[in-house]
Amino acid sequence: MSDLSAEALSLLQTQTIELPSWAFGNSGTRFRVFTTAGVPRDPYEKIDDVAQVHRLTGVTPRVSLHIPWDRVEDYEALRAHAENQGVTIGTINSNVFQDEDYKLGSLANPDERIRRKAVAHHLECIDVMRATGSPTLKIWLADGTNYPGQDSIRARQDRLAEALSEIYAALDEDQQLVLEYKLFEPSFYHTDVPDWGTSLVHCLALGERAKVVLDTGHHAPGTNIEFIVAQLLRLGRLGAFDFNSRFYADDDLIVGAADPFQLFRIMHEIVSAGALAPDSGVGFMLDQCHNLEEKIPGEIRSALNVQEATAKALLVDREALAAAQASGDVLSANAVLMDAYSTDVRPLLAELRDSQGLAPDPMEAFLGSGYLEKIRAERVGGTAAGWGA
């Protein structure tokens, strides 16, 4: 198929992208949560929509849940529902940022009672992992301060390290923890886990089953994200991506929309390190909100953007690249990458889908399927993604 080697094609076929349950609910800005007709009313219906994206794209067989946004009575029933729909439950995200008690932080809070409450929430998440078969606990903390002197930066790191080690110790042998970082927001003076270095320091102290999660929206403008990817892969500590696009801050726009070239450069590092294989331990997840566009088409577009960037990265002529690099031929080396990036891989992917019994154009297939009309008629009173709940 096209210029892809048989090996590259089989790697492309095994790539999977995990979808966030919250991408399917109503969302908005800090000014307004907008409503979209037909959005899911509960976690069961969010899973139905994930399964619909998977049926059409063939590459999204897992869903991330966020607790308590996706809290249900019976998690085993939720797991069975997912499996009946042909998908599984992937990462469990904790949430210690929407409770009055967490005003001054969660795991790094100066108040022992609140730290205990935040640890207990993570233990609940580990129970949810057991019931749903989820292998990964994802932690993102809103912890930080707004004013110099508000709290001790160093004491907060110590409290955080202690709380994380308690959570890590509660994991089963076949479970892992991924720690997400974010430059700023909601804290504006300092954030307790602001960068990959801080996340890595905590993960190294915890043990081998603690890894860094890289949200592409959580960096300063101009940050070379593929450098971070290469470094974490080198150290075996890249646990997962939260893919999305940013123009300014944590915009949560469709991955590959703002900067498809950056997505390609990231995937080039992944392919170069052999980290695309399903057993590489790197999770490819989306973390997005569709404020203006329809949710399901937004997720289809996102999955296709990741797939296209991956196909382009697989097209890189690695032998020619290595030769140009070894001989110091700067322009030829750059041209090898640009040739791959400039290739239109859409026909190749359409052909691949056709060979897998899928519609060549998943977006067109979805829009013609009647699914949107059906959920708009059936689902009345859909829920917010979480932010506006």
Cβ atoms within 10 Å, residue 274: 10
Q: Which is nearer to Mn ion, 213 or 349 (CB)?
A: 213
Contacts of 189 (CB under 8 A, 6+ apart): 144, 145, 146, 147, 148, 150
Select the residue interacting with Mn ion from 195, 215, 226, 299 (CB under 5 A). 215
Least distance to Mn ion from the beta carbon of 227, Å?
20
Cβ atoms within 10 Å, residue 108: 27
Residue 93, contacted partner among ligand LRH, Mn ion, none, CB below 5-8 A by kind: ligand LRH
Residue 21, contacted partner among ligand LRH, Mn ion, none, CB below 5-8 A by kind: none
Residue type, 374: K
312: phi then psi, degrees, rounded to nearest 5: -65, -40
Distances (CA, A) of 235 to 227, 230, 273: 13, 9, 11
If we measure between CA atoms, which residue out of 67, 144, 139, 140 comes closest to residue 105?
A: 144
**Which residues, numbered 248-287, are part of the site for ligand LRH (CB under 6 A)?**
250, 287
Residue with tokens 């929309």: 257
Select the residue interacting with ligand LRH from 180, 195, 226, 269 (CB under 6 A). 180
Q: Which is nearer to ligand LRH, 269 or 287 (CB)?
A: 287
Q: Is 181 a binder of ligand LRH (CB under 6 A)?
A: no
Q: Are 39 and 295 in contact (CB under 8 A)?
A: yes
Instruction: Give the DSSP H or E segment for 11.
Output: helix 6-14
Q: Which is nearer to ligand LRH, 98 or 327 (CB)?
A: 98
Q: Which is nearer to Mn ion, 195 or 215 (CB)?
A: 215
Q: Is 287 a binder of Mn ion (CB under 5 A)?
A: yes
Contacts with ligand LRH by CB under 6 A: the residue count is 9
Read off the DSSP letter of residue 382: P
**Which residues, numbered 125-144, are part of the site for ligand LRH (CB under 6 A)?**
140
Q: Number of helices (H) and strands (E), helices first, in the chain? A: 14, 10
Q: Which is nearer to Mn ion, 250 or 361 (CB)?
A: 250
Q: What is the dihedral of CA 270, 138, 90, 345, to 10 degrees?
A: -30
Select the residue interacting with ligand LRH from 48, 143, 151, 215 (CB under 6 A). 215
Q: Which is nearer to ligand LRH, 15 or 27 (CB)?
A: 27
Least distance to Mn ion from the beta carbon of 140, Å?
6
Distances (CA, A) of 11 to 26, 159, 214, 307: 34, 42, 22, 11
Q: Which is nearer to Mn ion, 253 or 333 (CB)?
A: 253
Select the residue interacting with Mn ion from 18, 192, 226, 242 (CB under 5 A). 242
Cα separation, 50 vs 44, in Å, equals: 10
Tokens of 259: 């900067």
Select the residue interacting with ligand LRH from 54, 121, 182, 246 (CB under 6 A). 182
Give how far the C-alpha of residue 169 lies from the chain's centroid of Cα atoms, to the nearest Å: 24
Q: Is 93 a binder of ligand LRH (CB under 6 A)?
A: yes
Pick the piece of the chain touching Mn ion (CB under 5 A) from 204-212, 230-238, 245-253, 334-342.
245-253
Least distance to Mn ion from the beta carbon of 309, Å?
19
Q: Which residues pair with 91 in a beta bridge?
A: 136
Q: Is 242 a binder of ligand LRH (CB under 6 A)?
A: yes
Residues that bind ligand LRH (CB under 6 A): 22, 93, 140, 180, 182, 215, 242, 250, 287
Residues that bind Mn ion (CB under 5 A): 215, 242, 250, 287
